[in-house]
């Protein structure tokens, strides 16, 4: 008799456990969210052309909100100046935090216009696990080419210049006033709400 009660209680406990399990919500799946990383207010305060010497570029450091982060687009605010740029090209490079190259592609100067504005470049999904750099080499001679906009609304903490492929601020512009107008769009994995 006693054993029957034990079986009955055990059975009820098992059924209740199964019901609770069936009703419990599964853990939410993380989702992907598109994010834009930027340090400028969207309006250039001026432009700076940096010549055509190989290894001379504009460099901006970015920190993704979460990792892994997948870069899908780079946006550049620039414009054409002078003449003779029709057959020139510029290079956009993505580097990891140690400045090791992750991606490189060149584009014609004529992607920009003389009036200036944002130019958006599709990137073939580069996945980063931490800080990274966008490095732009315009290869623009004095006569004409691409010049990149910069914003002075906030103190620069992320923009650099390079010479001989090494970080070196060689412009006469005060570094703290120059945020190169380079932006990154990518997908970050975020927990569901």
CB of 93 to Ca ion, least distance (A): 25
Q: Does 41 bind Ca ion (CB under 5 A)?
A: yes
What are the two backbone dihedrals, phi and then psi, of residue 150, each rounded to the nearest 5 degrees? -135, 155
Nearer to Ca ion, 174 or 191 (CB): 174
Each residue 116-155 as x (binds Ca ion by CB under 5 A) or -, in order, gives -----------------------------------x-x--
Interface with Ca ion (CB under 5 A), residue total: 5
Token pair recorded at residue 148: 């990149």
User: Which of 17, 31, 32, 43 is the binder for Ca ion (CB under 5 A)?
Assistant: 43
Q: Does 106 bind Ca ion (CB under 5 A)?
A: no
Nearer to Ca ion, 45 or 131 (CB): 45
Stretch that binds Ca ion, among 12-20, 44-52, 94-102, 114-122 (CB under 5 A): 44-52
Nearer to Ca ion, 31 or 43 (CB): 43
Q: Does 47 bind Ca ion (CB under 5 A)?
A: no
Chain contacts with Ca ion (rule: CB under 5 A): 41, 43, 45, 151, 153
């Amino acid at each position: 008799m006693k054993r029957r009660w034990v079986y009955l209680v055990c059975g009820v406990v098992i059924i209740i456990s199964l019901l609770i399990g069936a009703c419990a919500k599964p853990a939410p799946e993380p989702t992907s969210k598109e994010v834009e990383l930027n340090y400028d207010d969207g309006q250039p305060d001026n432009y700076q052309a940096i010549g055509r010497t190989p290894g001379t570029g504009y460099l901006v450091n970015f920190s993704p909100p979460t990792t892994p982060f997948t870069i899908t687009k780079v946006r550049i605010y620039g414009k054409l100046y002078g003449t003779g740029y029709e057959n020139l090209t510029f290079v956009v490079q993505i580097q990891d935090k140690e400045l090791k190259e992750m991606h490189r592609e060149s584009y014609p100067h004529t992607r920009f216009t003389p009036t200036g504005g944002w130019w958006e470049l599709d990137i073939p999904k580069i996945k980063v696990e931490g800080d990274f750099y966008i490095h732009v080499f315009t290869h623009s001679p004095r006569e004409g080419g691409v010049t990149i906009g910069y914003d002075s609304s906030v103190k620069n903490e992320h923009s650099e210049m390079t010479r001989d492929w090494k970080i070196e601020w060689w412009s006469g512009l005060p570094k703290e006033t120059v945020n190169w107008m380079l932006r990154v769009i990518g997908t970050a994995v975020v927990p569901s709400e």
